[in-house]
Amino acid sequence: MKAVVLAAGKGRRLWPLTENRPKPMLPVANRPILEHIIDALVQTEITEVILVVGSNRDRIQSHFEDIYAGLDISYVVQETQLGTGHALLQAESRLGEYFIALNGDRIIDTAVIDAVIDRREETNRPVMAITRIERPSRYGVVELEGQTVVGLEEQPHPDLTKSDYINAGVYAFGPEIFAGIRRIETHGEQALTDALATFIDDRRLEAVRYQGTWLDVSEPWDLLTVNNALLRDRSEDAISESATIDTSAVVRNPVAIGENTVIHPQAVVLDGVSLGDNVSIGAGSILKNTIILSDVTIKSGTVMTDCIVGANTTLGPNTTVEGGHADVVLSDTVHHDVTLGGLIGDNVAGGGNVTITPGTIVGNTTTLDSGTYVSGRIDDGSHVQRG
């Protein structure tokens, strides 16, 4: 049994973090999104996983190599990002009678994979998992008659949604899907969901209802939401044995703390925080609802809430990242009242007494001079100065 995971997406809405790593390799609860997905596959009857990779693919290949937790791992490359259908086509020659396909940016659990496999074997029809969420208009809304999909509309107006079920991004297909993809009339992209139209018209697309773990990462604040959900669900201790925590520091679970990370005296690490490997949290700093990638130095007296910090970044003493709500523009779309204190890229050098306002996005390799007040969107390689 084979599974194909579509992991070639660029993830432009997650800039600047996706300049240096593929979107599926962004960490939540101190592990890449893609690792959570493949861990769910490990517990099924799947024996081989084909990863469709693209931008910065070496990050994925070096992490999973050829074997991961007993699964055979192989790779195909989508050189140009021409949609999810086009991505699946790249794996066609590797696939047999039927297979499982999954999105590489949605964390699910084993139960939905097993359910999709069972339904395919019962019906010998294309199968799609569906789940119910509060805001279905963000996704592909599914219209049903019994267990048959009769409509699929991408991101309808919130007042016009015909269902609160959405496409969960887990499928069971046979070779028939490739003919469907090739039939798409395209002006540059072939979306997998468009290829399902023929099956829907013929009432051949089966739905599997699923209400377990379903966590999607589309925008930066989703990283914080998903990180929190995964930390809450963890049963094991997520603090590395090689981490050093001063006896006067406060660490309140649920948190994740990576290898060789140091938390200095009187620092406070509150719930919802993930600290990567080789991170230093300065004396008297306070962190809450924050993701910090590897090799980051946070100097003394820093206060940081609702924040994401990229790898190899240094923030000077008494930095303040104000948590809270803001309006954020991504790809010319205004997202209103989202929870994001700040997104700070890789290799940023911050001086002391810097203030970062809610909703700020700071590009990679940026320099923030001491005493600066930073807001909005700061391009890669910028130098922010006082006055």
Which residue in 275, 360, 267 sits closest to 322, CA to CA?
360
The model's pTM: 0.93
Q: d(Cα 160, Cα 150) in Å, to the nearest integer? A: 16
User: How far is Cα of residue 345 from the mean position of the Cα atoms in its chain?
Assistant: 16
* pLDDT tens digits for range 290-320: 999 999 999 999 999 999 999 999 999 999 9
173 forms beta bridges with 99
Count Cβ neighbours within 10 Å for each residue of 344-370 and write b for 16 or more, e otherwise.
bbbbbebbbbbbbbbbbbbbbbbebbe
**What pLDDT band is residue 162 in, cutting at 50, 70 and 90?**
confident
Please report the pLDDT score of residue 158 as a whole number: 78
**DSSP symbol at 366:** -
Q: Across residues 61-77, what is the average pLDDT? A: 95
pLDDT of 237 higher than 80: no
**What pLDDT band is residue 235 in, cutting at 50, 70 and 90?**
low
Q: d(Cα 192, Cα 180) in Å, to the nearest integer? A: 9
Strands 286-292 and 273-275: parallel
- What domains, with CATH codes, occur in the chain? 2-217 (3.90.550.10), 221-384 (2.160.10.10)
Cα radius of gyration (the chain):
22
Cβ(199)–Cβ(181) below 8 Å: no
